[in-house]
Amino acid sequence: MEGIRATDIRESNEKLVKRFLMEYGECTKMDIANGSGLSHPTVAKVLAEMVETGQAVKVGKETSYGGRCSDKYRLDYDYHHVLILIFTTDSLYYQVNNLAQKKKESGTIPIQGETHILEAADLISDVRTRLPNIRLVEIGLPGNILDGRLVYMATPFYLVGCNVVEELEKRCHLPIQICNDVNAMAYGFYKRHIEVSLKQESMAYLFRNHSGPGAGIIINGKIINGFSGFAGEVCNVWPPQDNLMDEVKSQIAAILSVINPRYLVLSHDRTIELDTNALRRFVEELFPRHTIPQFHITQEIPAGSTPELHFTTEFEENCADGLVELAIESIFP
């Protein structure tokens, strides 16, 4: 038991130092000790082991103010790479990033027939020959994800019912995680545009392409999935609408009424035209003034009381950003 406990403590200390370096970049031993609560000798021992194994590097000295200059350390960002895959019905996009989120390689492979799993496994194997430091694969899939399995899609797709995680881990011998693609879009947009402003509040992301709608919900920086991973499946908002604009209005009304997020992001395929002014007028006419999304908070309404409405067509970038964030957070929880 003592040996197990010592191992657990050592691993916990190492994770804490890594997470601190991930958050703050270049740090001295004293920076890490003061910020993490670990003792200076513990930090020194962890850093020495990380430098020896190649996980961290020395990056010079701190600025001198008359005393002895301390060494500064940072993670070796290329010690770990993450691979993301985005599945669509007819293509497979991949991207490799290091821990600094620098893109190392990317591309798109067309998919013909029911070959997504085989193509993905071959792709992972191929990429690892060039970038062997891949530690985790994060996959974005359209539809309802539960326990590594795609369990529901509004449109027919042969992978429904398939345990994607199990199938790929069996072939690739790497940790595999999957996430609903619109949840990944929501998380990517949140990390890039909302969290950076230190606004830890609720956000909903409504996406539309030619395959149908989807939504992602972020509360206090976390993706909300619901008990069965079904949260955000707005294709089921009733009653169904014949007109695209009416359908989007209905989904917006459901989101604002049930969730009332501080930020509402409307995202769509570039080939789909949405009348954003008409959507803005719709919510202004339907909802009480203090609840409606606007581009700018007016002076008449107290700051912080009015949701903000954002439009974006960068859904691929948002999805990739979100998957990379989720993958890195899994390596450094």
pLDDT for the residue 65:
57
DSSP string for residues in 130-177: H-TTEEEEEEEESSEEETTEEEE-SS--TTTT-BHHHHHHHHH-S-EE
pTM listed for this prediction = 0.87
Taking residues 296-314, what's their average pLDDT?
56
Residue 237's alpha-carbon distances to 196, 241, 255, 262, in angstroms, are 32, 9, 10, 21
For strands 222-223 and 71-75, give the pairing. Answer: unpaired
Range with the largest mean pLDDT of 54-63, 79-88, 255-264, 299-308: 79-88
Query: Which residue has better confidence, 155 or 206?
Result: 206
Taking residues 38-54, what's their average pLDDT?
92
pLDDT for the residue 225:
94
H/E stretch holding 267 reads strand 263-268
Give the 3-state secondary structure percentages of the chain, helix then strand then coil, rounded to 5.
Answer: 40, 25, 35
Taking residues 26-41, what's their average pLDDT?
90
* AA identity, residue 179: C
Residue 36: pLDDT band (50, 70, 90) is confident
pLDDT of residue 59 exceeding 90: no
pLDDT of residue 299 exceeding 50: no
Q: Which residues contact 197 (CB under 8 A, 6 or more apart)?
A: none
Contact 261, 275 (CB under 8 A): no
pLDDT for the residue 300:
36
pLDDT for the residue 66:
53
- pLDDT tens track for 234-268: 999 999 899 999 999 999 999 999 998 888 999 98
What are the structure tokens assigned to 146, written together?
A: 């539960």
């790497």: which residue's tokens? 174
Taking residues 124-138, what's their average pLDDT?
97
pLDDT of residue 150 exceeding 50: yes
